[in-house]
């Protein structure tokens, strides 16, 4: 069984494997698999869009299915083959009310009372999105760490900085709670797409360029669909000596 201590040990980039999020795959009676997500600091996360997409691709390749359903704390997520080795995941409908994000008290989620006028969105985990002139110029490590622990977010928050680079095309950088600066975040991409559409900056279908690559997000009536590529990097064996507690 994976615990917070084991997750932290495996996530150590010097002595472990290293990761932003760890996804534990278990069998489930009514879904193709059940997923549990750990952040690098050992804390749990209800959602991880990129890991969900990668696991969906793994199951699609392994079983030959074109449609997969995965159970997460976010609920049952539908995933499907999108062609050209792309995989789509429905990350569910965004949570737009303050208590659902969640926030500490009743405020307008479209205009938070935080310097920089960010947007709050729940995607199974909380998100705080800033729209800026140039996301590249933001001191992400400094700003991200401060906002993650802002008192308005009782469960901490993921933080995004984005700017418009063309019609329905955003550039985004992300700080993830419990992790730090990351190259990409699927749930953050979904939250940023929703925030941009709510602000009238884009339509509901956008391309987002992250440090790790491009992802497509489509906010439909049935949820926020995220489509992107995946890559199988390596297989490994986790031995008891890794932590001494397995």
Whole-number average pLDDT of the chain: 94
Instruction: Examine residue 97 and state whether it is found in any structural domain, yes or no.
Output: no
Query: 239 in a domain, yes or no?
Result: no
pLDDT band at 2 (very low <50, low <70, confident <90, very high): confident
Reported as type and span, the H/E element at residue 44 is strand 44-45
Per this entry, what is the length of the chain? 246
Distance from C-alpha of 181 to C-alpha of 145, rounded to nearest angstrom = 9
Range 225-244 average pLDDT: 85
The top-scoring range by mean pLDDT among 11-15, 71-75, 181-185, 203-207 is 203-207
- The rounded percent of the chain whose pLDDT value lies above 90 is 80
Alpha-carbon torsion (5, 10, 16, 21), positive or negative: negative
82 part of a folded domain: yes
Higher pLDDT, 48 or 143: 143
CATH code of the domain covering residue 25: 3.10.310.10
CA gap 127, 116 in Å, rounded: 15
Residue 104 lies in a domain: no
The domain tally of the chain equals 2
Co-location of 62 and 134 in the same domain: no
Residue at 243 is within a domain: no
- The predicted-structure confidence for 134-174, as pLDDT tens digits, reads as follows 999 999 999 999 999 999 999 999 999 999 999 999 999 99
> pLDDT grade, residue 61 (50/70/90)?
very high
Is the pLDDT reported for residue 29 higher than 80?
Answer: yes
Peptide bond before residue 5 is cis, with ω within 30 degrees of 0: no
According to the model, what pLDDT value does residue 244 have?
61
- The answer to whether residue 241 sits within a structural domain is no
Domain shared by 126 and 225, yes or no: yes
Q: Domain check: are 83 and 176 in the same one?
A: no
More confident residue, 45 or 243: 45
Query: Are 161 and 208 contained in the same domain?
Result: yes
- Cα–Cα distances (Å) from 167 to 37, 56, 163, 196, 212, in that order, read 34, 30, 11, 11, 21
Q: For residue 221, give its domain range.
A: 119-229
Which of 91, 109, 142 is the C-terminal boundary of a domain?
91
| Cβ neighbours around 129 below 10 Å, total | 27
In a domain, 45, yes or no: yes
- Residue 74 placed within a domain: yes
Q: Note the pTM of the prediction, 2 decimals.
A: 0.91
The sign of the dihedral angle between the CA atoms of 61, 239, 212, 124 is: positive
Q: Nearest CA to 208 among 220, 232, 181, 226?
A: 226
């Amino acid at each position: 069984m994976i615990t917070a201590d084991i997750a932290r040990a495996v996530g150590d980039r010097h002595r472990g494997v290293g990761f932003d999020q760890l996804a534990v795959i278990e069998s489930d009676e009514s879904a193709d698999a059940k997923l549990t997500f750990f952040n690098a600091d050992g804390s749990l996360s209800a959602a991880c869009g990129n890991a969900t997409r990668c696991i969906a691709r793994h199951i699609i390749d392994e079983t030959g299915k074109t449609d997969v359903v995965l159970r997460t704390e976010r609920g049952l997520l539908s995933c499907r083959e999108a062609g050209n080795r792309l995989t789509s995941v429905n990350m569910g409908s965004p949570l737009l009310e303050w208590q659902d994000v969640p926030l500490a008290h009743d405020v307008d989620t479209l205009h938070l009372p935080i310097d920089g006028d960010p947007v709050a969105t729940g995607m199974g985990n909380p998100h705080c999105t800033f729209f800026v002139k140039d996301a590249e110029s933001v001191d992400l490590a400094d700003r991200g760490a401060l906002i993650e622990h802002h008192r308005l977010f009782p469960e901490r928050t993921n933080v995004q900085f984005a700017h418009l680079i063309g019609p329905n095309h955003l550039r985004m950088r992300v700080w993830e709670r419990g992790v730090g600066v990351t190259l990409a975040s699927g749930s953050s991409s979904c939250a940023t797409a929703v925030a941009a559409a709510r602000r009238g900056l884009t339509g509901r279908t956008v391309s987002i360029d992250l440090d790790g690559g491009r992802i497509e997000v489509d906010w439909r009536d049935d949820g926020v669909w995220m489509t992107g590529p995946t890559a199988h990097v390596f297989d490994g064996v986790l031995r008891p000596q890794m932590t001494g507690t397995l």
